[in-house]
Structure 1
Amino acid sequence: MNYIKNILSFFLIFIFSYQIQAQSKKWELVSMSDYKNKKIRYADFIYDPNVRTVQLYTLGGNLVDKQLNLPIISLRKRVPIILEFDVFGDDADYYEAELVHCNRDWTPSELQPIEFMKDYNSFKLNDFDFSINTRVPFVHFKFQLPQVQMSGNYLLMVYKEGNKKDLIITKRFVVSEETAAIGAKVVDRIGGQRRYEQQIDFSVNYKNLVSVNLKRDFSVAILQNGRWDNSLENLKPRFIKGHENTLDYSYSNGENSFLGSNEFRVFETSSINGGGPSISTTDVLKNFTRVRLHNDLVRNGKAFNQQQNDYNGGYVIHAFGKQEPWLEADYMEVVFNLKVDGPYQGDVYAYGSFSEWQLNEEYKLVYDPQKKSYVGSALLKQGRYDYMYTVLDPSKTKRDDRIIEGSFNLTRNTYDIIVYYRGPGDRADRVVAIKKLNTNR
C-alpha cells in the first residue's frame, strides 16, 4: 500500500494546502488535502485518493459498452445497477454500502429505509478480486445495488466496514415510476446565441396525478450527457394547460438552453505495445507505463469538426487481448499537452467522467513557457477516455470550457429530462417521468 501511495504522491506534485470548500453547489475543486475531509457530499464524489475508476451503470441500454449506461432507471423494468471500482495496493479494507433517499434538491428526504426498500439497509461488498499481472497492483470491487420500492433521487454511500463516517464513495442514481409522460425536442435558439446553444423544449402530461399547486408540486431537471455539474434544475412551467393536464416548458429566454460545447477529445490506452487514438509515444518504465498524448490545440474560434465519435464524456475500461479487462487492465501515467501561445488568467484542468466532473488537482495542467504548452499527467486505467479542458478563473469560483473548446449548436449531445412531483400527503419528492433525448444533428 505504501508503494502505491508513493507513486500517487509522485504524480500529484501541484497540491494546494487549503481546506476543502464547495466552489459551487454542483462541483468542487479537489486537492490531496481535501481527502482528510470525510463530510458527506450528496453528489458523485471520491473521498480516498487510492480509490479509482469508480463507475455506476445499468445493465440495460447499451449492451456493448455497458459502462456508458447512466444510472437512471424505471421501477417497471427493474434493470440492475452495478457499481465497480478499484483500490490501489495488494490488500484492501472491507467495505459496506447503504442507500439514502433524497428530495429533488439532493437533500435527504424524511423517508426511512423501511419505506423505500425491503432489505435491511446495510450491504457488505463481498465481491472483490485482485489485479492480474499488472505493474500497478489493485483490488477490484463489484456490487449490484439492491432494488428499491419507491421512485426518487438516491445516493449510494460506500464506507469502511463499521464506520459510516469513513466514506470512500458517494454516487447518485435516479428511479422513475412513470406516472406522467414527457414530449420533447431540441430546437434552435432565437437570437445571438443560436450558433452556440441547444434549447430543449418539452411538455409534461401529468395524467391523473393530483395537484393543489402545479408550479409548486412539479419541478424538472435536465442533464446534459448525464452530468449533474452543469444541470438545469427546478424548472417551472411557462404555461399550464389545465384542460389537457399538461405543463408546457417552451421558454424563449434561454432558461432551458445549454451551451452545445464541442465534441469531446478522445484517447485510447487499450494497448501497451501500440499507440491508440491520440497517443504520441509509449514508454515502459520500471514500475509503470507512461503514455504521451499528441499535442492538443485550442479549438475556440476554429470550425466545427464532427468527425470524431465520442462517448459524451464517458470512458470504457478495455485492454486488448485480455479476457478480464477489469482485472487485467493496468494503470498508466497519461501525459496531457495543450499548445497555447501564452498562459490563461486562471488554472487549466483536464476533466470528464473519469474525474467525476470535479476539478481534481491531479488533472491540473501547468504552463511551460519554453514549450508554450500546458502540461500535466495522471494515473488512469487502460481504456478509451473522453476529456475536455476547462479554465478555472482566479477567484476559483467559475470555470469555462468555452475558452479552450469553443461551443457549437451542432454538437452531438444527449439530454435526460427528469420530472419531480410531490402530491398531497407525500413526505418526499417522487420522480414521475424520465425522457432521453438526442440532438440527432
Structure 2
Amino acid sequence: MSTKNSYIFVLNKANYLIKNKYGFFSLKYLVTLCSLFTIFNQIDAQNSLKDYVSPALKTVQLHRNDWPLSYPIIRLGSDQTLVLSFDEPGSQIKDYYYTIVHCDAQWNPSPLMPTDYIQGVPVNPITDYSYSFNTTMDYVHYQLSFPNLSIRPLISGNYVLEVFEGPTGGKTVLRKRFYVNEPLVKIESYVRNRQSSATEPDYQEINFEIIHKGLSINNPVEEVTVTVMQNGRTDNVISGLRPRFFGGDRMDFNFIRETEMEAGNEFRYLDIRSFRFYTDRIEEIVFEDPFYHVSVVPERPRFPSSYQYRQDLNGRYYIEADTRENPDTEGDYAFVHFRLFCDIPFISKRIYINGALTNWLLDSSSEMEYDPVINAYRTTLMLKQGYYNYQYVMVERGETQGEVFQLENSYYETENDYLILVYYRKQGERTHRLIGAEVINSARSLQGSGK
C-alpha cells in the first residue's frame, strides 16, 4: 500500500468511526482528519524527506533531554526523550502543531499507516512557549518534549518530526530527522587514517564489524544496510553500505575506499556569551539601536597550514548568556558578521558557512557572497548568545556534497565523531528497522598512517 493510500485508509476509517459509532463530528477528530489529509498530500509529493527550517525560525535544536550536544537518538521502549526547541522573533504566539513520519533507510516515507508506527494521536499542538525577557530583540521560545503521553513511536527506524502552522496541516515551518533505535546488534569499529600529499586532503576511513548474536539474518547482503555520518553533516553521508563478508553471527564492513571521508580540521569557534566583553575572535561589538552587531575577526583559508589540536564541539553549539539565569528566554540575539578573505573568487564553486548554527544545511541561508570591494566572502547570521563551532565548505556548482580541504585543510589527526547506523529489513517486511546505532570518535580509535 502506498503512503498516500495508507493515509486515505486512516482517514476513511476515522471518518466511519466518527460518523457511525459516535454519531457526530468531534472538533478534535475533525482537526486530526484535516491535518492528516494535508500532510499526506505534502509527503506524497516528495521522495526523501530532508531537514528544513523556515527562515522565520531561529536557534533550532533537537537533542536528548539534558544532553544538548547529543545526536537525536532514543532507544525504543525506553523512557528517553528528545527535546525540540526554537525561537521566533516577534511577540505573536503562533498556532503550531506537530506530527512524526516514519521513513525507510533512504528517508523516503514508509508505506505504513500512522497506526502502524504511532501510539496516540498523530497530530498534536505545541503548547509549551515563553516570551523573551529583558532582551533587545523580542522573541517567542517554543519547546516540545517527546515521546509523551500524546504520541509515541511504536517501531524503530528513521523518523521525521514535522512542525506546521494551524490545526489543519498548514505550511510546514520545520522538519527535523531523528532516530529510534532497538539495539539488537553490537558494532565493533575503528578509524584508520590515510595521509596524503601536501596538495591533497588526508582521509579517515571508518571500518567496523557487526555482531548479531541472537538475531537470525538469512540474507545479510539483501537485508542489512549501513549509513555513516561525520559529525552532524548531512551533505557527505555515506549510505547503502552492504557487508563485504559474513559468516556465523558476524558481518564485515572493512572497506578499502568506500568509507573514506575528508578528515578536515578542527572547527573554528565563536564565543558570544557576553556582549560586554570581547573574546579572542571578536573584532567589534556595536549596539545600533535597537540591535547588537558583532563582527568576527576577519578570517582566511587555512590552506596551507600545519595541524594544531584544539578541543571543539564538532560543529555544534550551546546556548549560554553571561549573568542570565535562563538563556532560553533571557539570551539576546545579535547580527553576526563573517568575512573570509580570498584574493579572487572561486568561479565555479559556492562557499557556505556550515555547522549546527546553520542547521547543517547548504542552502541560501548559509551561502556566502563575494564582495570585490574587500576581496572577501561575507555573510550575516542572526545568532543567540552562546558558544558556536563552524567551518567553511566549498561546493562545486551543480553538486550537493561539500569539500573542506581548500578552505580548512584536512589532517588525519583531526578529531571527528562518526555515527554508524545499522538498518534491517527482513524479507517480506515493508520498511527498515534501526537495529544498531553507535558513535565512534576518531581521536580515540586512530590506527596509524597507512595501516
Q: TM-score, normalised by structure 2?
A: 0.83
Secondary structure of the corresponding residue to residue 321 of structure 2: coil
1:14 is matched with none
Structure 2 CA distance for aligned equivalents of residues 358 and 192 of structure 1: 30
Structure 2 CA distance for aligned equivalents of residues 371 and 240 of structure 1: 57
Alpha-carbon offset, residue 372 of structure 1: 2.9
1:174 is matched with 179
Offset from partner CA, 1:256-304 (integer Å, 9 cap, x none): 1111111111001110111234111100110100011111121122111
Offset from partner CA, 1:219-241 (integer Å, 9 cap, x none): 00011113332111010111112
Structure 2 CA distance for aligned equivalents of residues 361 and 214 of structure 1: 41
1:8 is matched with none
Contact 1:362 1:377 in 2 (8 A): no
2:253 equivalent among 249, 252, 255:
249
1:202 is matched with 208
Contact 1:130 1:140 in 2 (8 A): yes
2:344 equivalent among 342, 345, 365:
342
Offset from partner CA, 1:364-420 (integer Å, 9 cap, x none): 333333433222212111111111112233446553322211111111001111100
Contact 2:234 2:361 in 1 (8 A): no
* Comparing 211-220 and 385-394, the one that deviates more: 385-394
Contact 1:219 1:420 in 2 (8 A): yes
1:420 and 2:427 correspond: no
Contact 2:414 2:443 in 1 (8 A): no
Aligned CA-pair RMSD: 2.2
Amino acid corresponding to residue 130 of structure 1 in structure 2 = Y
1:332 and 2:334 correspond: yes
Contact 1:97 1:157 in 2 (8 A): yes
Structure 1 residues 141, 236: closer, same or farther in 2, change over 3 A?
Answer: same
Structure 1 residues 327, 116: closer, same or farther in 2, change over 3 A?
Answer: same
Structure with higher Rg: it is 2
Amino acid corresponding to residue 341 of structure 2 in structure 1 = K
Q: TM-score, normalised by structure 1?
A: 0.85
Q: Which runs of 5+ in 2 are unaligned?
A: 1-41, 445-451
Contact 1:211 1:424 in 2 (8 A): no
Structure 1 CA distance for aligned equivalents of residues 398 and 240 of structure 2: 27
Contact 2:105 2:432 in 1 (8 A): yes
1:16 is matched with none
2:403 is matched with 400
Secondary structure of the corresponding residue to residue 406 of structure 2: helix
1:409 and 2:415 correspond: no
Offset from partner CA, 1:163-194 (integer Å, 9 cap, x none): 32410101101111111111111112487799
Alpha-carbon offset, residue 425 of structure 1: 4.0
Contact 1:266 1:277 in 2 (8 A): no
Structure 1 CA distance for aligned equivalents of residues 270 and 329 of structure 2: 21
Q: Which runs of 5+ in 1 are unaligned?
A: 1-36
Structure 1 CA distance for aligned equivalents of residues 63 and 107 of structure 2: 19
1:232 and 2:222 correspond: no
Structure 2 CA distance for aligned equivalents of residues 283 and 325 of structure 1: 21
Q: Matches of residues 67-216 of structure 1 in structure 2 within 5 Å?
A: 67-75=68-76, 77-146=78-147, 147-189=152-194, 196-216=202-222
Structure 1 residues 195, 297: closer, same or farther in 2, change over 3 A?
Answer: closer
Alpha-carbon offset, residue 195 of structure 1: 6.4
Question: Identity of aligned pairs, percent?
Answer: 30
Structure 1 residues 397, 127: closer, same or farther in 2, change over 3 A?
Answer: closer
Structure 1 residues 152, 394: closer, same or farther in 2, change over 3 A?
Answer: closer
Amino acid corresponding to residue 251 of structure 2 in structure 1 = L
1:20 is matched with none
Structure 2 CA distance for aligned equivalents of residues 397 and 256 of structure 1: 18
Contact 1:210 1:423 in 2 (8 A): no
Q: Matches of residues 247-396 of structure 1 in structure 2 within 5 Å?
A: 247-252=251-256, 254-306=257-309, 308-345=310-347, 346-395=349-398
* Comparing 140-149 and 110-119, the one that deviates more: 110-119
Offset from partner CA, 1:4-31 (integer Å, 9 cap, x none): xxxxxxxxxxxxxxxxxxxxxxxxxxxx
Structure 1 CA distance for aligned equivalents of residues 68 and 280 of structure 2: 20
Contact 1:300 1:402 in 2 (8 A): yes
Contact 1:181 1:205 in 2 (8 A): yes
Structure 1 CA distance for aligned equivalents of residues 375 and 84 of structure 2: 41
Amino acid corresponding to residue 157 of structure 2 in structure 1 = G
